[in-house]
Chain A
Amino acid sequence: MINDEIMDYIGILAKLELSAEEKESTKKDMERMLAYFDKLNELDTTGIEPVSHITKVQNVFREDMVTKGDEHEKTLQNAPREKDNMFMVPKIFG
């Protein structure tokens, strides 16, 4: 069961502020998702290795060679605010 405490905690982790109505409807959504996982959990998976990737591809590497030049102008196009070629963000303590 998703209770209010869990909802608040998830809100903190996801940096989301939900209204009372949003909380209620999200609770229902999440409960449906959990019910689906409960269904999956009914499967007997003893002795089966967990899968983290569904393709058989492994060992994709790049060599240690510089292939990128100075792209700071492009990068900074993504900054909501900038100063001295840096991203400007709200004050962070510590």
Chain B
Amino acid sequence: MHKQYETVIGLEVHVELATKTKIFCGCSTEFGGAPNTHTCPVCTGMPGSLPVLNRKVVEYAIAVGLATNCNITQYCKFDRKNYFYPDNPQNYQISQLYLPICRNGHVDIETESGKKSVRIHEIHMEEDAGKMIHDEWEDCSLVDYNRSGVPLIEIVSEPDMRSAEEVIAYLEKLRMLIQYLGASDCKLNEGSMRADVNLSVREVGAKEYGTRTEMKNLNSFRSITHAIKAERERQIELLEAGQTVVQETRRWDENREESYTMRSKEDAQDYRYFPDPDLVPIYISDEWIEEIRKSQPEFREAKMVRYKEEFDIPEYDIGIITDSKHMADLFEETTAICKQPKKVSNWLMGETLRLLKEKSMDAEDIVFSPEHLAKLIGLVDAKAITGTVAKEVFEIMFEKDIDPESYVEEKGLKTVNDEGTLRKTIEEVIVDNPKSVEDYHNGKEKAIGFLVGQTMKAMKGQADVGLVNQILKELL
């Protein structure tokens, strides 16, 4: 009979900040540049170059710290973490060990097993490394330093999580807060958010923690869930067999659904941290913190409460709309223009979600503007276009944010309200469908639906349905 085990999990989350430039130099952080085109002596670690801190990095770090209930370390500084690896051109990474910018925070999460608070040990600022590619042909490695010096914050939690569900809830919560702050887009699959999982197991009721391992290379919620399950099982099996868990760093292989040792404690690195003499200390005044606190956005919880009071839309819709800052902004801005929250919500919940899913896109990637969605709603309200046409126009708008008014005008998609034209078409439909007409006269009310359909088809969907119904009944 197995003993009962509890899983203890702490997370180290790296988030790439959404600054325009790197942390210590004026090189662009833009994605997709040709190799080494966003580099300079500072971010390639050339002797004699001098790093100068990007103010925006400090502001984003403080903003995330405040959003996660941390204390801001008002006197903080940078340290050098020394190690040799080709993606790290200085042979040290500039990071914060002794005085991280934020400490002692917490975020509240909710899972099926209830509400809980996950404590945050610290958040520190640091620089990203370059990218290595293995070259099979030359049997060597190639390094691109475009990502070297891109600003990161590392959010270190306490070992407060007990299941994969809690880990996902915690990550979702961080992602939400940081996206709302605009501090990062937090995409696991693109590496702008990376989570390392520290996991140990212990018998239920035990006071001491077991020996933990650190799992790397987790690029999706799926792999995180799989890795937690597999690592828990691996550690329990070792303990059950009377063996011990070795403290080590492991790498997850999602294809094989298993992990392997990257480095063990025996060859654990001695990073020989020391204060970076090139970077002067940072003093964060009360005023600076207050200024950032005042410019914090309205976060999701507050938004949900306000939406419920302000707009007559279902709670479920509110949940989905506020799940993305971009979607919430779209909703609010469109509603401000057209004053019809319900209709705006319907477009977002219906066609928008459908297209996002179909094209496997994130809500953050939506391109159409609130002005254009408001115009589209206006066109439908004015009966200038039919629902069918509106959906067609919306698809184009979703793709390339066209102005629906000029598009409808250009393509001649306006609804035909002209009675003469309609009457003529309907007369033809009646002649062409004697059977349905007969059915209708024999009391089959439904037959009229078919005739309306035929008329709409003949009008390419651009006819006022109400008017078609009215004329049909009259002619029959």
A residues neighboring B (CB under 8 Å): 9, 13, 15, 52-53, 55, 57-68, 70-72, 75-76, 78, 83-92, 94
The one of B140, B272, B277 that contacts A53, using a Cβ cutoff of 8 Å:
B277
The one of A9, A58, A88 that contacts B281, using a Cβ cutoff of 8 Å:
A58
Give, as a whole number of angstroms, the nearest-CB distance from A9 to chain B: 8
Contacts of B44 in A (CB 8 A): 75, 78
In the complex with contacts A59-B283, A75-B44, A91-B140, A83-B135 CB distance below 8 A: yes
Interface centre among B44, B139, B251 (most CB of A within 10 A): B44
* Complex Cα spacing A76 to B34, Å: 13
Query: Is A63 a contact partner of B55 (Cβ separation < 8 A)?
Result: yes
Query: Is A85 a contact partner of B36 (Cβ separation < 8 A)?
Result: yes
* Complex Cα spacing A62 to B84, Å: 28
The one of A64, A72, A75 that contacts B21, using a Cβ cutoff of 8 Å:
A64
* Complex Cα spacing A67 to B40, Å: 11
* Complex Cα spacing A74 to B35, Å: 13
Give, as a whole number of angstroms, the nearest-CB distance from A39 to chain B: 20
Q: Does B56 reach chain A (CB closer than 8 Å)?
A: yes
In the complex with contacts A53-B280, A55-B280, A84-B56 CB distance below 8 A: no
Interface residues on B, range: 35 or more
Q: Can you list 14 contacts pairing A with B, beta carbon distance less than 8 Å?
A: A9-B270, A52-B281, A53-B280, A55-B280, A57-B280, A58-B282, A62-B53, A65-B20, A75-B36, A75-B44, A83-B142, A86-B142, A87-B145, A89-B140
Nearest CB in chain B to that of A9: its residue: B270
Query: Is A64 a contact partner of B19 (Cβ separation < 8 A)?
Result: yes
Contacts of A68 in B (CB 8 A): 25-28, 38, 40
Q: Which B residues, 77 to 99, have Cβ-Cβ distances below 8 Å to chain A?
A: 77, 82, 84-86
**Chain B residues touching A, majority SS:** loop
Query: Is B251 a contact partner of A52 (Cβ separation < 8 A)?
Result: no
In the complex with contacts A15-B84, A87-B86, A94-B262, A62-B54 CB distance below 8 A: yes
Q: Which B residues, 441 to 459, have Cβ-Cβ distances below 8 Å to chain A?
A: none
* Complex Cα spacing A75 to B146, Å: 11
In the complex with contacts A67-B26, A91-B139, A84-B35 CB distance below 8 A: yes
Query: Is A66 a contact partner of B134 (Cβ separation < 8 A)?
Result: no
Give, as a whole number of angstroms, the nearest-CB distance from A31 to chain B: 19
Give, as a whole number of angstroms, the nearest-CB distance from B329 to chain A: 22
* Complex Cα spacing A85 to B38, Å: 12
For B25-53 the 0/1 string (1 means CB < 8 A from A) is: 11110000011111110001010000011
The one of A60, A87, A92 that contacts B52, using a Cβ cutoff of 8 Å:
A60
In the complex with contacts A66-B28, A75-B36, A94-B251 CB distance below 8 A: yes
* Complex Cα spacing A63 to B134, Å: 36
Query: Is B34 a contact partner of A72 (Cβ separation < 8 A)?
Result: yes
The one of B20, B56, B58, B143 that contacts A66, using a Cβ cutoff of 8 Å:
B20
Give, as a whole number of angstroms, the nearest-CB distance from B276 to chain A: 9
Query: Is A91 a contact partner of B280 (Cβ separation < 8 A)?
Result: no
* Complex Cα spacing A73 to B38, Å: 11
In the complex with contacts A58-B280, A89-B140, A13-B270 CB distance below 8 A: yes
Known: A67-B21, A78-B46. 20 other contacts (CB 8 A): A52-B281, A59-B283, A60-B53, A62-B26, A62-B52, A64-B19, A64-B56, A66-B21, A68-B26, A72-B34, A72-B35, A83-B138, A85-B37, A86-B35, A86-B142, A88-B142, A90-B141, A91-B140, A92-B134, A92-B141
The one of B35, B142, B277, B282 that contacts A59, using a Cβ cutoff of 8 Å:
B282
The one of A53, A64, A72 that contacts B39, using a Cβ cutoff of 8 Å:
A72
Give, as a whole number of angstroms, the nearest-CB distance from B425 to chain A: 60
Query: Is B36 a contact partner of A59 (Cβ separation < 8 A)?
Result: no
Give, as a whole number of angstroms, the nearest-CB distance from B114 to chain A: 39
The one of A58, A64, A72, A88 that contacts B140, using a Cβ cutoff of 8 Å:
A88
Q: Does B196 reach chain A (CB closer than 8 Å)?
A: no
Query: Is B39 a contact partner of A75 (Cβ separation < 8 A)?
Result: yes
Query: Is A89 a contact partner of B86 (Cβ separation < 8 A)?
Result: yes
Q: Does B238 reach chain A (CB closer than 8 Å)?
A: no
In the complex with contacts A76-B36, A86-B142, A87-B143, A64-B54 CB distance below 8 A: yes
Contacts of A90 in B (CB 8 A): 140-141
Q: Which B residues, 175 to 196, have Cβ-Cβ distances below 8 Å to chain A?
A: none
Q: Does B206 reach chain A (CB closer than 8 Å)?
A: no
